[in-house]
Chains A and B, each alone.
Chain A
Amino acid sequence: MSFSQSMKKLAAGVVASSAIAYSGAVMAADTIKVGVLHSLSGTMAISESTLKDTVLMMIEEQNKKGGIMGKKLEPVVVDPASNWPLFAEKTRELITKEDVDVIFGCWTSVSRKSVLPVVEELNGLLFYPVQYEGEESSKNVFYTGAAPNQQAIPAVDYLINDLGVERFVLAGTDYVYPRTTNKILEAYLKSKGVAEKDIMINYTPFGHSDWQSIVSEIKAFGSQGMKTAVVSTINGDANVPFYKELGNQGVSAEDIPVVAFSVGEEELSGIDTGPLVGHLAAWNYFQSVYNDNNEAFIDQWHAFTGDDKRVTNDPMEATYIGFNMWVKAVEKAKSTDTDKVADAMIGIQTPNLTGGTAVMNENHHLSKPVLIGEIQDDGQFAVVWETEGLVKGDAWSDFLPGSKDLVSDWTAPTRCGNYNTKTKSCGGASAE
């Protein structure tokens, strides 16, 4: 090999490597990194992997439109594996190592609670897309799912006013969301004049599969001469055997309707819904809602997943709204700086998928419509009732003694997630 040849090679190598280094620098400067923190393995993979795909689809769509402010979006997907402490670790990794500008993630409340101190410490930005128990408002988190007053309370109102229900079974999985929601509901029902003896509360472990005794108890509770309904905060997997048992023991929706807060299209796609027709669910979105925005979203989802049997659900809509709001806020703030974007977020409006407009409020919760749907035999919901107009999400429930005086307001001059209107002071991190 001659000298000149080797020099040429060397030069080419230098050029090539510097080109790589340069392009790397360009990449870093020219993309906006979006962290996706949803479990892709473990118990929660069933629900969360769908949301990961939703975020990826939204990013792809945004990049086709040219990204944000001329920069492409770059997803950074991590797998916290349904392991709550790992959620915190992965968040730290996303913010400090990967330097992401925003995180879309979490499903269960316990994972959110685990991430919360990390995003607050590192001043990150988290969009949380699932309905939850409320009693929280962080400067660094935007809650695009429903608060209890956007799901549980309207659903109970519907049962009382439209179905004439007088006895209630509050059945839930034994963890923080059902317990808090049921505490709020119990207080609310009592304020509506429902007697203690007409409320039955029942908790079951995660993944409970033997529902025989509980369903037979519910049947007995419902045969006392007053219209009875079940308000179910039973989570995920456990619903399938629960509904199967209801069907087998002949409890029809006409006798004892079940209104569920954690059962959506995705959960029903694992069951034969024939015996469940007429049972209810309360959400802010159903796939069956008929409007152009929604049809386009469903088509896009089918194209993205390559499967036209895939269903859409409420947390997907919440992800959709959250993502679009974030894009608007970044464009408005002309920066991806957490504080600037968080300020710009408040008051942002984007179309939702049910034909209205979602508004981000000063308490980091959305204003949304509340829909009640009945399960159909094709695994979809038919909307039988909806609120007139939007319901504003309430971070702190008005029905719990510890939180009824608290409000959240992240605009100047209050800038506080749990401002006590009685003592006129900003409390600690949370109530209770």
Chain B
Amino acid sequence: MGYRFGRMLTAMLVALLVSVSWAEEPLQDPTAPPRTTTQSSVDGIDIPPLTLQEIINRLTSRSFDKKEAAIRQLAKQDNPRVVPLLNALMNRELVHNRKDDTIALGLKKDGQWELRDPESRQVIGQVDSRAARPVIINNRLRTVINNQLALAALNDPDSDIRYQAAGQLIGNDDPEMLAALAARRHQESRPRVAAQIDTALNIAALHSDDRTTRLDAIDALAGNLHPEVKNALNTRLLAADSSQETQALEKAIARIETRIETFQTADTVFFGLSLGSVLLLAAIGLAITFGVMGVINMAHGELIMLGAYTTYVVQQLLPSSHEWSLLIAVPAAFLVSAFVGVLIERFVIRFLYGRPLETLLATFGVSLILQQAVRVIFSPLNRTVITPEWMSGALEINPVFSLTYNRLYIIFFALAVFLALLTLLKKTRLGLQVRAVSQNRATARGLGIRSERVNALTFGLGSGIAGVAGVALAQLTNVGPNLGQSYIIDSFMVVVFGGVGNLWGTLTAAFSLGIANKLLEPMAGAVLAKIVVLVFIILFIQRKPRGLFPQRGRAAEE
């Protein structure tokens, strides 16, 4: 292991050392594919003007080179249908009708293709689902189409669309595209879009023959975080023809790298917080059942899994409102898991209080039963939980630092659940009773608390929260029968590390373990990082068996 670690460190150092100067070959322009059918050859064929239909019929070819030529030619046509047709091609709505070997707009309707004329959009017929197939495009064609669409979108009235279009064209050195960018730059009023266009133009200027143009471009690009910029500067560094240019390039790259490093630290912290929030969600229910009640519940993971499946079922029941079904799923998952939790408490755990080993075995059995039940009801295959639009994508702060929305929401959600639970335990009557029973059952009963009922309710509460965690985890991981197993160990780890019976301890433990894990991961790899964290916890528990925040008072002495 030491050897591997050492090798990784060396590899990392080597990578750091050479990263400034290692681009060995000139940058390949993503739009210029390795095996190009050049545009001139297309122009050559093109003496008689072709109709739109004739051009797109060339997409029936199996060769991607021929398809590319057809797309480039299509993009050149002065016809309002060009952009919709390119979009249709991207969305697999251009289909190859096998019967008469033509291309038409196709829409799947009741297992059949409804074919429409590409130009007039008139319905021209219906064919069996196997009689027509969408035109296959690959990544290279997708880039070509995206560039053409971006070119068309460059003069769009919406500045967001212009911004994206300019971004797509960065790194492109097609003279036609550059001319369009330069023309747009003169009219552009939005600074955001203008900056994006400047980046694109400056990268292109790095290839200029004139040294001052190049030096100006290098200066302008210094500190620019767009990934293409660093690529282009590194490439240029290999071709630099004067010490002045080399120096300017090195300075510019160094500035970019310093900025990237700063943001990478921020990135790691965010990743750590995010992992911490997942740990917190998984563990917080356990902090109640294990921490407060002292029940070792091996079925805790399966209660999380039930919550995740509830999310799935809610989405199935409300097929039209995926965007908001999560809001219904949260209370539904709470109720389902809480209900199952109360059943487990009433029928299994109740008879086993004070016998931790038997509880462990019995709840482990329950966990297997729940897993297999889900396999029988939902099949062993994973279920798709749809991520709503507002949770997809990332909040892009700059090209090297972005916060993914799903993680961001889950951090807030975990904290909200934590605060709600804390309030419940500290401010409500049930909370008071729970605390009383967990501190001293006999005295609590003596004071008239129905400890049986409180036990059931507390266990239900912990289980319900596990269910709520399941809703959040369904957005991050697979919804399948094994979902629970992957979280049960982490949950126990967090609760024990934080100090049994202490919610704040759970919070601190979850976030510190999350961040520690993420700090170690780039250095040691995911497997080793996990091992290191586990070993650390084992050593820590040896020294302080009661965790970070040991419980004080009578309960602690039991």
Contact = CB atoms under 8 A, between A and B. Distances in A.
Interface of A: 40-43, 45-46, 49-50, 162-164, 166, 174, 196-197, 202-205, 207-210, 212-214, 216-217, 220, 223-227, 237, 240-241, 244-245, 247-250, 253-254, 257, 266, 269-272, 275, 277-278, 290, 295, 374, 376-378, 382-384
Given A208-B526, A249-B402, 12 more contacts: A207-B482, A212-B407, A212-B518, A217-B522, A225-B23, A240-B477, A244-B387, A244-B476, A270-B383, A272-B387, A382-B138, A384-B138
A163 B482 contact: no
Nearest to A248: B404
Contact of A213 (B231, B482, B522): B522
B227 interface: yes
B380 A253 contact: no
Contacts of A207: 482, 486
B224 to A, nearest CB: 13
19 contacts: A46-B382, A49-B381, A162-B35, A164-B34, A213-B518, A217-B522, A226-B24, A237-B382, A241-B476, A249-B394, A250-B402, A254-B139, A270-B479, A271-B384, A272-B384, A290-B133, A376-B92, A383-B136, A384-B64
B476 A250 contact: no
Contacts of A250: 393-394, 396, 402
Given A209-B476, A224-B22, A374 B139 contact: yes
Interface in B383-417: 383-384, 386-387, 392-394, 396, 402, 404-407
Contacts of A223: 227, 230-231
Contact of A257 (B139, B375, B379, B518): B139
Given A205-B527, A249-B394, A272 B386 contact: yes
Contacts of B396: 250
Contact of B480 (A163, A196, A237, A254): A237
A225 B235 contact: yes
Interface in B464-504: 476-482, 486
Given A41-B372, A384-B64, A374 B138 contact: yes
Interface string B253-272: 00000001000100110010
Interface string B13-48: 011001100111101101000110000000000000
A270 B406 contact: no
A253 B138 CA distance: 10
Contact of A249 (B24, B404, B479): B404
B381 A46 contact: yes
Which of B371, B379, B380, B392 has most chain A Cβ within 10 Å? Answer: B380
A116 to B, nearest CB: 25
A226 B26 CA distance: 9
A210 B380 contact: no
Nearest to B406: A248
A308 B260 CA distance: 49
B24 A209 contact: no
B27 A225 contact: yes
Contact of A224 (B23, B137, B394, B405): B23
Given A207-B482, A212-B271, A212-B274, A269 B384 contact: yes
B275 A210 contact: yes
Q: Which 8 pairs from chain A and chain B are nearest by CB? A: A225-B23, A270-B382, A45-B380, A225-B231, A248-B404, A209-B477, A223-B227, A382-B136
B14 A197 contact: yes
A361 B522 CA distance: 45
B278 interface: yes
A203 B521 CA distance: 11
B525 interface: yes
A209 B486 contact: yes
Nearest to B392: A248
Contacts of B28: 164, 227
A162 B33 CA distance: 9
A113 B159 CA distance: 60
B58 interface: no
B256 to A, nearest CB: 10
A392 B498 CA distance: 57
Contacts of A241: 476-478
Contacts, number: 173
A197 B23 CA distance: 12
B138 A224 contact: no
A163 B518 CA distance: 33
A383 B234 CA distance: 35
A220 B406 CA distance: 22
A207 B489 CA distance: 13
A39 to B, nearest CB: 9
B123 to A, nearest CB: 23
Nearest to B35: A162
B302 to A, nearest CB: 14
B230 A270 contact: no
A406 B247 CA distance: 55
A290 to B, nearest CB: 7
A310 to B, nearest CB: 9
B383 A226 contact: no
B142 interface: yes
A204 B527 CA distance: 6
Given A46-B480, A203-B526, A241-B478, A254 B143 contact: yes
B441 interface: no
Contacts of B482: 42-43, 207, 237
A384 B477 contact: no
A205 B534 CA distance: 14
Nearest to A280: B139
Contacts of B22: 197, 224-225
A226 B23 contact: yes
Nearest to A374: B138
Contacts of B384: 269-272
A223 B19 CA distance: 10
B130 interface: yes
B315 to A, nearest CB: 12
Contacts of B211: none
B439 interface: no
Contacts of B375: 41, 45
B360 to A, nearest CB: 20
Contacts of B24: 226
Contact of A163 (B130, B139, B394, B526): B139
Contacts of B25: 166, 226
A197 B477 contact: no
Nearest to A211: B526
Nearest to A376: B92
A40 B379 CA distance: 10
A240 B24 CA distance: 35
Interface in B346-380: 371-372, 375, 379-380
A384 B14 CA distance: 37
Nearest to A247: B392
Contacts of B92: 376-378
Contact of A216 (B14, B27, B143, B267): B267
A225 B230 contact: yes
Contacts of A237: 382, 478, 480, 482
A247 B389 CA distance: 13
A208 B525 CA distance: 12
B331 to A, nearest CB: 24
Contacts of A213: 268, 271, 518, 521-522, 526
B512 interface: no
A189 to B, nearest CB: 15
Contacts of B274: 210, 212
